[in-house]
């Protein structure tokens, strides 16, 4: 990104909630919070915040199922200081006991907040339906009980076990000289002792019949996720086809489900669809918040559109429109240095072949209508079909909804 006045320093580590044991549930996420609470060089959270604010910088962190990230971005001329802060946070956090106790309350309230947001929480419910009591089926934040149980020793042990050179990736994007970046990375990370990386358990991904899970909640709207088991991120042929298929269904205001559910029927505000592949499993999902009185109609429409993709080829004009939408949105999302860092870092940390945006575009443009129909036939079938709902229903209603699941 030559000429970019900003720079992003991002450090990714190949660990997340899927790497946790039963007793560590939520620890990856909690540790991410704690890394900004003090280091040997910057003992207090305020020391870190004040320094970054003084640079006019932005910083944040995130935890996913398979990796965790820390980043700061600011003017490119401040690269050295940005790198020093983020590498210090990543390598030398001290996990102060008093801060751990305070942050327990913060994370419990974070869990409460998301559980009060049914449009978000329904995705956690869907994951638990697919994977049960496996790490892939658990909330990344853990439970209130697990969060309250952690001790400082748990953080130190987990950090030492997972935050190792073999699992660490440093990404820098923006107006910074590559030689300068390489020198800084070598200086800070080059002398670290090589420690064996800790792996994760393989996901058990088995299903024989359609499945339904309901969480009863008094809401004015039903939030649901209807989805199918798919393929891991290593499936280089079918995942691009599924990405295009998802955009046909619910990518943009001219998409099939948006037009049918919102514009024609007036039963929802949002509808989304997409494929979510991981290293050893994947799923395709359609999510919608809709009129509770018409939820069965909505489910029937979604299933009908999925079935249609198995029997009818997407037209040339529709496919061309969808591809332009996908490519245009990808490029618009890459207008900042942090987006570029995440684009390349997300590929590298999952050990995928590195593709430029133009190479990613080519993958989209080479998908044919026949590819979409073929993958629809492989994915849209009863033995991979699942439905999660949050709304004014009881567990007894699961049998009622199960009867609708035919595709």
The whole-angstrom separation of Cα 51 and Cα 14 is 27
Share of the chain above pLDDT 90, in %: 96
CATH number of the domain where residue 253 is located: 3.30.830.10
Q: Is 200 among the domain residues?
A: no
pLDDT at 336 over 80: yes
The whole-angstrom separation of Cα 12 and Cα 9 is 10
CB-CB contact of 176 with 105 (8 Å): no
Angle between helix axes 357-365 and 316-333 (nearest 10 degrees) is 170
Share of the chain above pLDDT 70, in %: 100
pLDDT at 407 over 90: no
pLDDT at 191: 84
Question: Active-site residue among 32, 51, 99, 103?
Answer: 32
Band of pLDDT at residue 11, cut at 50, 70 and 90 = very high
pLDDT tens digits for range 130-153: 999 999 999 999 999 999 999 999
Residues 180 and 42 in one domain: yes
Residues 115 and 52 in one domain: yes
The whole-angstrom separation of Cα 277 and Cα 169 is 20
Residues 168 and 266 in one domain: no
Q: Is 194 among the domain residues?
A: no
Residues 151 and 218 in one domain: no
Q: Is 274 among the domain residues?
A: yes
Q: Is 123 among the domain residues?
A: yes
pLDDT at 1: 64
Residues 178 and 218 in one domain: no
The number of folded domains in the chain is 2
Q: Is 202 among the domain residues?
A: no
Q: Is 103 among the domain residues?
A: yes
**Range(s) of the domain holding residue 222:** 211-402
Buried b (16+ CB within 10 A) or exposed e, 60-90: ebebbbbbbbbbbbbbbebbebbbbbbbbbb
Residues 360 and 326 in one domain: yes
Residues 168 and 255 in one domain: no
CB-CB contact of 201 with 17 (8 Å): no
pLDDT tens digits for range 86-114: 999 999 999 999 999 999 999 999 999 99
pTM of the model: 0.95
Residues 178 and 309 in one domain: no
Number of residues assigned to the chain? 407
Whole-angstrom CA distances from 308 to 179, 251, 285 are 53, 17, 16
Residues 300 and 158 in one domain: no
pLDDT at 197: 84
Residues 164 and 242 in one domain: no
Q: Is 138 among the domain residues?
A: yes
Residues 267 and 331 in one domain: yes
For range 209-227, the mean pLDDT: 96
pLDDT tens digits for range 56-96: 999 999 999 999 999 999 999 999 999 999 999 999 999 99
What is the number of other CB atoms lying within 10 angstroms of the CB of residue 258? 21
pLDDT tens digits for range 265-298: 999 999 999 999 999 999 999 999 999 999 999 9
Residue 32 known to be catalytic: yes
The whole-angstrom separation of Cα 124 and Cα 62 is 17
Residues 176 and 231 in one domain: no
Phi, psi of 275 (to 5 degrees): -100, 140
Q: Is 199 among the domain residues?
A: no
Which residue matches tokens 């020391």?
A: 47
């Amino acid at each position: 990104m030559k000429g970019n006045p900003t720079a992003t320093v991002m450090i990714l580590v190949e660990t997340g909630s899927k790497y946790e044991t039963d007793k560590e549930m939520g620890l990856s996420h909690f540790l991410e919070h704690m890394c900004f609470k003090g280091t040997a060089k910057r003992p207090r959270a305020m020391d870190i915040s004040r320094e970054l604010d003084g640079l006019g910088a932005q910083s944040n962190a995130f935890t996913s199922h398979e990796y965790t990230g820390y980043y700061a971005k600011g003017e490119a001329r401040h690269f050295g200081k940005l790198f020093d802060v983020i590498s210090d946070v990543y390598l030398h956090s001290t996990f102060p006991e008093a801060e751990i106790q305070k942050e327990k309350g913060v994370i419990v309230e974070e869990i409460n907040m998301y559980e009060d947001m049914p449009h978000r929480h329904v995705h956690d419910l869907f994951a638990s339906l697919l994977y049960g009591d496996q790490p892939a089926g658990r909330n990344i934040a853990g439970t209130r009980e697990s969060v309250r149980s952690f001790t400082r020793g748990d953080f130190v042990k987990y950090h030492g076990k997972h935050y190792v050179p073999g699992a660490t990736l440093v990404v820098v994007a923006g107006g910074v000289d590559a030689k300068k970046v390489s020198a800084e990375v070598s200086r800070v990370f080059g002398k670290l002792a090589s420690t064996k990386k800790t792996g994760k358990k393989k996901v058990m991904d088995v299903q024989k019949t359609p499945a339904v899970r309901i969480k009863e909640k008094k809401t004015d709207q039903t939030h649901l996720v209807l989805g199918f088991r798919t393929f891991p991120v290593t499936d280089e042929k079918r995942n691009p086809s599924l990405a295009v298929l998802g955009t046909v269904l619910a990518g943009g205001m001219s998409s099939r489900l948006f037009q049918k559910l919102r514009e024609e029927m007036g039963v929802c505000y949002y509808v989304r669809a997409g494929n979510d592949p991981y290293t050893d499993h994947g799923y395709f999902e359609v999510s919608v918040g809709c009129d509770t009185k018409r939820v069965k109609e909505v489910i029937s429409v979604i299933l009908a559109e999925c079935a249609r993709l198995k029997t009818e080829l997407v037209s040339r004009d529709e496919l061309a429109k969808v591809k332009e939408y996908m490519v245009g949105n990808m490029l618009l999302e890459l207008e900042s240095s942090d987006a570029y860092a995440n684009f390349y870092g997300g590929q590298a940390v999952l050990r995928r072949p590195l593709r430029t945006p133009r190479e990613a575009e080519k993958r989209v443009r080479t998908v044919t209508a026949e590819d979409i129909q073929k993958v629809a036939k492989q994915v849209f079938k009863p033995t991979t079909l699942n439905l999660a709902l949050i709304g004014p229903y009881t567990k007894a209603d699961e049998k009622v909804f199960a009867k609708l699941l035919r595709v």
